[in-house]
Chain A
């Protein structure tokens, strides 16, 4: 059921072609001093220069803020940024990202202190997607018992449904954003955790598991969340709509429907009462056949 994408596999093959002198069976040293600078050789190997800007707007709640922090710890190729003011347009984000030299961006915003939205975008001109985020559980919850190396490259696992067109854009963006580039200076050599993206009920469910053994024993690290896709745009934070989710109902709409339902109950009761009043009181209706026996008395 799972489709696995190891970014490393593709790149490794590229490497093999370019530098045939690179040693196979290279095992990294078991200790690495933080003072030791990154060698030029490794720097040369790091060709996939992805940098993700992770930040949010003002007015984000505590749980959502922790989710943002969790994503920052899990992605060593991320850059942080201060909160964006709500008066600024979304297009401003493109300029902020350019200043930070980032080519991807994950932007969070919260509306009415209730609805939490996430934007993922390829910054200069690329596609961008807006999601509604639900069911957030952070890494700090005590039920999440797993742990992983900080900066270890994850295995990314996608549902087979991700091959359909609009899902495929999301899949590619996820791979480039959540996947850590090969030979990134802050990355660690081992693969000890796996991300799963599954489509259930037309929403994307995200899970992060620690790999305990080669036989597939897993333990959840967190965070976990559900993404409800809203729209896919051609440009970054705007532009032409490539795809719109037909099943998506904005949380505002849901709330107003619920309220209307409640109102509907009251209105219905009122109507019922009025109609009953119109019918009049239930009186005694005599037998209509009695009229036959009502004759006029002749007074002689």
Chain B
């Protein structure tokens, strides 16, 4: 008796594998469509329904709206779940970054305390750690720019210009700072020399070597 060979593997057997079975039906229908349309076109008969042909359909409009609504809800649900997943991912990532930054801060603090301890104990004379070293990024920036010697000289002489951003900070600079030449009071009776103060006011650090002596002193020097 002629019989069909049945597959014993349940996944392969189209009788039991729903997806496979439906694909068989789908493919059969597709083949039929291709063949049929070919034959109809040979006979010059109309085949596909045009978009502007309005006639009574097998399913009512109300029903088709329900179908459409269901599909849209399904799609919206999928999109929502995807969004939520993404947000969860981003949060995880953000949390990671935050934790890293905190750990970095703690590390720096620990190092600072170590250095202070060592200095206290007298192990190192270096008190560089107290100087406010600029942040890594700033340091990089400064090193990156090539120094124009002429420009640097002018800066030193006349000051950089622009807003005085970091001037009034209670830094170690102030700790190290030697009192200005004369400390505001000039020896030899020149008190409240406006010129000196003015010079200081011109901006920037006062370089001892560059302070110009007064008129009288210059004339004396000239005379010599």
Cross-chain contact A24 with B35 (CB below 8 angstroms):
no
Q: Which residues of B contact A200 (CB under 8 A)?
A: 14-15, 21, 24
Q: Say if the beta carbon of A207 comes within 8 Å of chain B.
A: yes
Identify which of A1-9, A57-65, A96-104, A106-114 touches chain B. Answer: A1-9
Chain A positions 4-39 with a Cβ under 8 Å from a chain B Cβ: 4, 6, 8-9, 12, 24-28, 30-32
- Assembly CA distance A274 to B98 (angstroms): 75
Cα A117 to Cα B6 in complex, Å, equals 27
Q: Across the interface, do B64 and A147 meet the contact criterion of CB distance under 8 Å?
A: yes
In the complex, what distance in Å separates the CA atom of A201 from the CA atom of B27? 18
The answer to whether B131 has its CB under 8 Å from any CB of chain A is no
* B53 contacts A221, C-beta separation under 8 Å: no
Instruction: Tell whether, in the assembled complex, residue B35 and residue A2 are in contact, meaning their CB atoms are under 8 Å apart.
Output: yes
Q: What is the predominant secondary structure among interface residues of chain B facing chain A?
A: helix
Would you give the shortest CB distance from B52 to chain A, in whole angstroms? 7
**Binary CB contact string for chain B from 14 to 57 against chain A (1 if under 8 A, 0 otherwise):** 11000001001111111111111101100111111110111111
Contact of B46 among A4, A28, A139, A194 (CB under 8 A): A28
Known: A27-B46, A150-B57, A200-B21. A4 touches B31 (CB 8 A): yes
**Contact flags B124-140 to A (C-beta < 8 A → 1, else 0):** 00000000000000000
Distance to closest chain B CB from A186 (angstroms)? 10
Report yes or no: A196 in contact with B56, Cβ–Cβ below 8 A: no
> Does B97 belong to the interface (CB within 8 Å)?
no
Q: Which of A46-54, A78-86, A151-159, A278-286 contacts B (4 or more CB under 8 A)?
A: A151-159
Are B29 and A218 interface neighbours, CB within 8 A? yes
Is B59 in the interface zone, CB < 8 Å from A? yes
Stretch at the interface among B66-74, B163-171, B188-196: B66-74
Taken together as a complex, chains A and B put the C-alpha atoms of A241 and B31 apart, in Å, by 35
Summarize A's interface: helix, strand, loop or mixed: loop
B149 interface hit (Cβ, 8 Å): no
Flag if A30 contacts B50 (CB, 8 Å): yes
- Known A4-B35, A142-B67: A191·B40 in contact at CB below 8 Å: yes
New contact pairs (10) apart from A149-B49, A155-B32, A216-B34, CB-CB < 8 Å: A1-B24, A1-B31, A4-B35, A8-B40, A9-B43, A190-B47, A191-B40, A200-B15, A211-B48, A214-B48
B interface residue numbers (CB < 8 A to A)? 14-15, 21, 24-37, 39-40, 43-50, 52-59, 63-64, 66-67, 70-71
User: CB within 8 Å of B: which residues of A?
Assistant: 1-2, 4, 6, 8-9, 12, 24-28, 30-32, 73-74, 139-140, 142, 144-145, 147-152, 155-157, 159, 188-192, 194, 196, 198, 200-201, 205, 207, 209, 211, 213-214, 216, 218, 221
